Amino acid sequence: MNARSQLVFLYGPPAVGKLTVAEELAQRRSFRVLHNHVTIDAVVTVLPFGTEAFWGAVGRLRRDLVAAAAREGIDLVYTYVFAPGDEPHVDAIAAAYEEAGGTVTFVQLVAPIDELLRRVGNASRSAHGKITEPEPLQRLLSEHDVFTSIPGRESLTIDLGVMSAAEAAELIVGRLDV
């Protein structure tokens, strides 16, 4: 295992640009991307979306994939929509890299709500089964605090309302090189 393997834990609200930034980062470094919808898409083919069994399977699949990548020394960008109560999942994901001798960098992406509502209709979102209409996004934003930072974890916060995904990736690379 490469003792210097890195996990970039990229989190923020839906439509903020997590996948776009992750892909930009992967172009600059040898990172692989574990996009949160990959696991959702895999599990929804077997279990009903939103059920306890569904979310349990999604969480186990994510943890298993991250742990395997950490053991193999693979640098990884992990995208996630964090809300209070998700701390045990965050801890399990980070622990996989930390226990394997790797490092974890937390990056929070934010943007104004009106920008999220504008982006939610982008055609690229439907290919991944993401929210594509303003109303469901507004409902999710009103029901969950997806703008909060992960408690107890130092995060680089990037406002994608004023910065491009490419600029954000450069900022993250700069943080990784410190």
pLDDT by residue for the chain (178 residues), tens only, comes to 444 799 999 999 988 999 999 999 999 999 999 998 889 989 999 999 989 999 999 999 999 999 999 999 999 999 999 999 999 999 999 999 999 989 999 999 999 988 888 877 766 766 666 776 778 888 888 898 999 999 999 999 999 999 999 999 999 999 997 6
pTM over 0.75: yes
Residue 64 lies in domain: 6-176
Per-residue tokens: 41 = 């898409």
Return the CATH number at 12.
3.40.50.300
State how many domains the chain has.
Answer: 1
Domain annotation covers residue 93: yes
Scanning the chain, the segments in alpha helix (DSSP H) are 18-28, 36-44, 52-71, 87-99, 113-119, 123-126, 134-143, 165-176
Domain annotation covers residue 102: yes
SS3 state of residue 78: strand
Domain annotation covers residue 60: yes
Nearest partner of 49 among 99, 41, 94, judged by Cα: 41
Report CA 95 to chain centroid distance, whole Å.
16
